[in-house]
Amino acid sequence: MPARTSMSDEQKAMMAQAMASKAATGISMMLPPRAAMVEYALTKDATAQAPSKEPTKIVLELNEKTALTITRTSVDIKSDMCIWRGTVDGTDAPATIMWWPGVTMAGTVQHERRIYSLRRMRGGIHAVAVVEMTEDRMPPEHAPMPARMRSNNPNLRDDPLVQQGDASMLRPKATIAEKSVPKDRNIELPAKAASEEIVIDVIVAYTKKAASNYGDVRRELVDLSIEEANQSFRISNLGHIKLRLVHAYQTDYLEEGEHFDHLWRFADKSDGYMEEIHGLRDKYRADVAALIVDDPKGCGLATRVYADADEAFAVVHHDCAALTYTVAHEIGHLIGARHELNIDKTMTPFPYGHGYVSGTKWRDIMSYRESCGGCPRLPVWSSPKLMIRGEPAGAPQVDNARVIAEQAARVANFRSSRDKPVFPSSPLPSVSNTGTGDQGLTPR
């Protein structure tokens, strides 16, 4: 579908920077057709469809050798943009395209154990870079303990950062003692009906190094990461739960040290690092804060599993944020979700709160690629009630969707809802194809 064009020096530099990522295996540039043609292709028949109507398809050229036919599963249209979701014909792999007419296109596509990232090119003309990556070359799920911590903790059999994705037990005691606000993790909230909307407000900071990889970091990375997380909730029958981005900004933090250091410098007060986040979090009433970095030692790290309001912080590598759903993964930890049992056998706080791996075929959002020989991660939460590609996506003792359903309201109340500002949004009609059968990632 897209035509190609020659590159400016600025665009060549951006592509060279993208290829510097260890996970990148290829890159190409495409010049989309006129905005009106793209908008027509993405919003065609965006009205309630009759069951007998054929589903809408597009053809997306990822490079000179790969053109994919993608069947639309849903499309959301706002006044200034649209979000197009689909599955790749023949594999049912997920695809997401976000389109701002005349501004930019962003998205992710999975195909044959490759992940393709769509990013706006800088340099004057409206062009899109298609960066091809492989999951087995991505940063590890969680960065390991720094060497200084290994020597200080010789009795630890397993690395809690790797096994549990939980940085709390290694936090310096002096730092913990400085906390003045009482923990609220045991506060019980009244149960909410499944139809009642639960909104977790998120503030995102990103470093200059992370932002330099994108033409428009806010749209192509931050907005896309939030959308992919929300899509995972919808697929997993958790559509009443959503993340809402209330603020995003570039911090002047210089990335020095390990992920563990980035995380606690972000979360701790009065340590001289990123002090602005605490005032901004209060100003925007954000329940959760995420820091996006360029440090490739890991995909992400959360302060703890089942965090309280004081510790609702996470750090995420930019390559992983949307492509491997790591923003969703780390916020899942904060809510109370754990990795699959092969990696983390901890039974608290919820014995059923573990990820799911389907042999060597696929894994859910909370599971490691090492558990399935590098199989692709799908944007789903483990649940025995969810059918993915013809099989249950969990078991009674493997049900992170239940954890999210039961605990999302707790996190959404870290900042009082009555004090939260109202963020107006334009009408968002949503269209889902009907009568098309199981699309692989369509729950049933």
CATH assignment of the domain containing 361: 3.40.390.10
- My answer on whether 117 and 168 are in the same domain is no
Q: Report the Cα–Cα distance between both ends of the chain, in Å, rounded.
A: 32
- My answer on whether 79 and 223 are in the same domain is no
Measured between alpha carbons, how far is 121 from 119 in angstroms, rounded to an integer? 6
**In sequence order, which ranges of 142-296 are alpha helices (DSSP H)?**
147-152, 160-163, 173-177, 208-211, 217, 224-235, 259-267, 276-283
Domain assignment of residue 250, yes or no: yes
CB 356 within 8 Å of CB 393: yes
Domain assignment of residue 441, yes or no: no
Answer whether residue 425 shows pLDDT above 50.
no
- My answer on whether 188 and 61 are in the same domain is no
Answer whether residue 433 shows pLDDT above 50.
no
Domain assignment of residue 217, yes or no: yes
Average pLDDT over the chain reads 85
* Predicted pLDDT at 30: 78
- My answer on whether 56 and 23 are in the same domain is yes
Q: Which helix (H) or strand (E) holds 99?
A: strand 94-100
- My answer on whether 211 and 241 are in the same domain is yes
Q: Which is it for strands 430-432 and 67-77: parallel, antiparallel or unpaired?
A: antiparallel
Which position has the higher pLDDT, 392 or 444? 392
- Among the residue ranges 91-95, 273-277, 399-403, 414-418, the one predicted with the least confidence is 414-418
Which position has the higher pLDDT, 124 or 302? 302
The structure's pTM equals: 0.88
Domain assignment of residue 439, yes or no: no
- My answer on whether 204 and 295 are in the same domain is yes
- My answer on whether 235 and 350 are in the same domain is yes
* Predicted pLDDT at 206: 99
Number of separate domains in the chain? 2
Domain assignment of residue 431, yes or no: no
Answer whether residue 277 shows pLDDT above 50.
yes
Cβ count near 78 (within 10 Å): 13
- My answer on whether 67 and 100 are in the same domain is yes
Measured between alpha carbons, how far is 363 from 93 in angstroms, rounded to an integer? 12
Domain assignment of residue 433, yes or no: no
Answer whether residue 42 shows pLDDT above 70.
yes
- My answer on whether 104 and 225 are in the same domain is no
User: With bands split at pLDDT 50, 70 and 90, how would you rate the model's confidence at 431?
Assistant: very low
DSSP, collapsed to helix, strand or coil, labels residue 23 as: coil
- My answer on whether 202 and 119 are in the same domain is no
Answer whether residue 110 shows pLDDT above 50.
yes
Whole-angstrom CA distances from 196 to 192, 405, 409 are 6, 11, 10
Report, as an integer, the average pLDDT of 74-79: 90
Which structural domain range is residue 100 located in? Answer: 9-137
Domain assignment of residue 392, yes or no: yes
Which position has the higher pLDDT, 206 or 79? 206
Which of 112, 137, 162 finishes a domain?
137
- My answer on whether 185 and 278 are in the same domain is yes
Report, as an integer, the average pLDDT of 61-88: 92
- My answer on whether 172 and 47 are in the same domain is no
Domain assignment of residue 442, yes or no: no
Which position has the higher pLDDT, 280 or 419? 280
